[in-house]
């Protein structure tokens, strides 16, 4: 049983994330989307909101589960008995940070392999930050996130501005 974890903040989930989830789910028996509850960051969406959005958008993928975690990824991987970490790469800027993290995780837990998946070209520019930036200026985000997520983002941003 090959169990992989795809960790991230997913604040909010984008088409780029969904593309990696769909492709990664074909490479393993079970894929856990690990939503990081990072107390240092000030997320737009609560952890429960992020988890429920991703659950809804991945319900057609039978071997995908969505869970939140806190603390170290290696501890979460041990707890879930996962052997693989999936990360997405968009550009060299991602690479520098990612390779450091992968090395650090391997030092901590040598049995855990990190696998990098290259972004689909059409999502190479896309990040949660870009989505929030465009949404905050009333831009069209329909090419960035699924339709059902758009009103949730707009409501959050309008609320913040009040
Ligand atoms: P971000 O805020 O950059 O979207 P996340 O922590 O939510 O960051 O990302 C989780 C993982 O998904 C990371 O490995 C990140 O590199 C990857 N990822 C994010 N957006 C894309 C994309 N458009 N294409 C491929 N991978 C992506």
pLDDT by residue (tens digit) across 32-51? 999 999 877 789 999 999 99
Predicted TM-score (pTM) of this structure: 0.94
Cβ 97 under 6 angstroms from ligand 1: no
What ranges in the chain are assigned the alpha helix state H? 15-25, 47-57, 73-80, 92-108, 128-136, 150-161
Could you identify the atom of ligand 1 that is nearest to the CA of residue 127? 4
Tell me which residues are annotated as active site: 17, 41, 90, 128
Cβ 94 under 6 angstroms from ligand 1: yes
CB count in 10 Å sphere of residue 141:
19
Average pLDDT of the residues in 128-135: 96
- Going by pLDDT thresholds of 50, 70 and 90, the confidence category of residue 162 is low
CB count in 10 Å sphere of residue 2:
11
- Tell me the C-alpha distance between 159 and 148, whole Å: 18
Average pLDDT of the residues in 132-155: 96
């Amino acid at each position: 049983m090959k169990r992989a974890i795809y960790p991230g903040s997913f604040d909010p989930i984008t088409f780029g994330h969904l593309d990696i989830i769909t492709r990664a789910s074909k490479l393993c028996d079970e894929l856990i989307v690990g939503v990081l509850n990072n107390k240092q960051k000030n997320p737009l969406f609560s952890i429960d909101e992020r988890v429920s959005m991703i659950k809804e958008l991945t319900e057609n993928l039978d071997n995908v589960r969505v869970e939140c975690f806190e603390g170290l990824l290696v501890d979460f991987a041990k707890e879930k008995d996962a052997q693989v970490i999936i990360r997405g790469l968009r550009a060299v800027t991602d690479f520098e940070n990612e390779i450091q993290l992968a090395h650090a995780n391997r030092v901590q837990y040598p049995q855990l392999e990190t696998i990098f998946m290259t972004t689909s070209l059409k999502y190479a520019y896309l990040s949660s930050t870009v989505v929030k930036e465009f949404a905050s200026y009333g831009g069209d985000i329909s090419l960035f996130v699924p339709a059902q997520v758009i009103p949730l983002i707009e409501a959050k941003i309008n609320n913040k501005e009040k």
